[in-house]
Amino acid sequence: MAKTGFGVDVGGSGVKGGVVDLETGELIGDRIKLLTPHPSTPEAVAKTVAEIIRQAEWDGPVGITLPSVVTGGVARSAANIDKGWIGTDARALFSDALGGRRVTVLNDADAAGMAEDALGAGKDAKGVVILLTFGTGIGSAILHNGVLLPNTEFGHMEVDGKEAEHRAASSVKEKKDLSYKEWAAEVSRVLTRFENLLWPDLFIAGGGISRKHEKWIPHLTNRTPVVPAALLNTAGIVGAALAVETGIAP
């Protein structure tokens, strides 16, 4: 039997979970998706996560992502979720809501980066891999030969007087009604800064807009190769499951 784990990905609009085959990164059975409660307070989200685990009839350890910096199981920031998360011991909260079981909590982009690096678009890559998720903001993960440096928050790096995510998140493309080519110029600008500081061997572009990669990746002007994410909307779930099973707890 395949070795399995369970991951839950908490986002601004949905909370998604599923059983993951840890060797292939495929989901076994259905992905369960519930709406993120509003307001998305820690207690309300913990109830939603518990409901997913109940529906899945899963009784093992659980990996859970948050759109937050997470250190020692404690959420330190809150992007697109209730500000009540800041300072919350998320690991203790989720563990209590799940009958005291073992829980790992990590940043959403870190989870996606671990999954893509191990089992997705970066599985054959060596050296330094940076995954960026382009969505409402920009999430980031950096790995060196498979080892994650957690909580990098490159989306908040200032690039030519503006935060990177205020230039090149996919929400900016929508808000300013930019063409793919215009938006790609901003993405190139942001990636140029990252590549000059971090010298990655590969960028992986994630987030919903990576589905349309053929419309914008060819316009990028960076020296580092950029490939679209392979796991797309399951990367967070897969990475969360990997994190709890490998014992990684940023």
Inter-residue contact 133 to 208 (CB < 8 Å)? no
Rg (CA), the chain: 17
Q: How far is the C-alpha of 18 from the C-alpha of 28, rounded, in Å?
A: 7
Between residue 161 and residue 200, which ones bind ligand BGC under the rule CB under 6 A? 165
Contact segment (CB under 6 A) with ligand BGC among 106-114, 123-131, 209-217, 231-239 equals: 106-114
> Tokens representing 87?
């300072």
For the bound state, the minimum distance from the C-beta of residue 28 to ligand BGC, rounded and expressed in Å, comes to: 26
**45 touches ligand BGC by CB under 6 A:** no
Q: How far is the C-alpha of 195 from the C-alpha of 83, rounded, in Å?
A: 32
Q: Which of 62, 79, 231, 237 binds ligand BGC (CB under 6 A)?
A: 79
Q: How far is the C-alpha of 130 from the C-alpha of 204, rounded, in Å?
A: 6
Between residue 145 and residue 164, which ones bind ligand BGC under the rule CB under 6 A? 153, 155
Contact segment (CB under 6 A) with ligand BGC among 47-55, 81-89, 105-113, 191-199 equals: 105-113
| Pairing mode, strands 202-206 and 128-134 | parallel
Contact segment (CB under 6 A) with ligand BGC among 39-47, 49-57, 132-140, 208-216 equals: 132-140
Q: How far is the C-alpha of 221 from the C-alpha of 199, rounded, in Å?
A: 15
- Of residues 67 and 228, the one with the C-beta less far from ligand BGC: 67
Contact segment (CB under 6 A) with ligand BGC among 21-29, 64-72, 216-224, 230-238 equals: 64-72
